[in-house]
Structure 1
Amino acid sequence: MRIRLTSVFVDDQAAARTFYTETLGFAVKHDVPLGADAWLTLVEPGDEGGIELLLEPSGHPAVAPYRDALREDGIPLLVLQVDDLAAEHARLEAAGVVFTQPPTDVGMALIAVFDDTCGNLVQLQQPKA
């Protein structure tokens, strides 16, 4: 058994595509129109066979209360691992990304949390050796 696909709910797929590719640096793997929405998945650049992140439309009525509760409690909906948290934090902040939690040492990792502009909080994590 393997994880092949996971998803994150987004308010606007086009805006999410722009943010996740141009700002965060992911690459589009699939962009298949499905009516007003699309099957829009991303992968790490150069890793076409890797785990896909589906930018899932947030139209289902259960999504808003779920995401609102997480955001209110400061809980990220997605965790992304980085090699150098300080460098990523500086790069993203320079690109205008708003952080809700600055880089913080939490024992086994360094973390920071930002707003993905698409309705979610996202945590960056750098594991410690």
Structure 2
Amino acid sequence: MRIAVTSVFVDDQDKALKFYTEKLGFQKKHDVPVGEFKWLTVVSPEAPDGIELLLEPDENPIAKTYKTGLREEGIPCIQFGVDDVRAEFERLRGLGVRFTQEPLEMGEVTTAVLDDTCGNLIQIAG
């Protein structure tokens, strides 16, 4: 068994696709119309056949409550691994990405938290 797809709830799939590809550097994998929404996934360019991230509409009230609760508590909904958190922080900040936590060393791990513009906090760690 392996993880094939995981999801992040977003308030606007097109805006999310733009942010996750143009700012974070992921690549679009699937863009399939499903009713008024899409099965819209992105992947890491380092693993194009790896785990897909579904940019899932947050239309379900439970999803909205979950998302709002995490954000209000300052809890990231997902974590992405990077080789150098400080370098990635500088790169993303240069692209206009807003961070809620600048790089913070916690033992052997450094983390930073950013706003994905779609209602989520995302942690990068390395």
Q: TM (normalized to structure 1)?
A: 0.94
Q: Aligned residue for 1:6?
A: 6
RMSD value, Cα? 0.9
Deviating more after overlay: 60-69 vs 109-118: 60-69
For residues 104 and 122 of structure 1, what CA distance do their matches in structure 2 show? 14
| Residue 40 of structure 1 pairs with residue 32 of structure 2 | no
Aligned residue-pair number: 126
Q: 1:47 offset after TM fit, Å?
A: 2.4
SS of 2:17's partner is helix
33-42 or 12-21, which deviates more: 33-42
TM-score (ref. length: structure 2): 0.97
1:73-106 Cα offsets, whole Å, 9 max, x none, are 1100010000011110001001111100010011
**Identity across the alignment (%):** 56
Aligned-residue offset at 1:46: 4.7
SS of 2:71's equivalent in the other structure is helix
Aligned counterpart, 1:114: 114
Distance 1:81 1:62 in 2: 28
Q: d(CA) in 2 for partners of 1:46 and 1:108? A: 24
Q: Specify every segment of 5 or more residues in structure 1 that has no aligned partner in the other structure, as ranges.
A: none
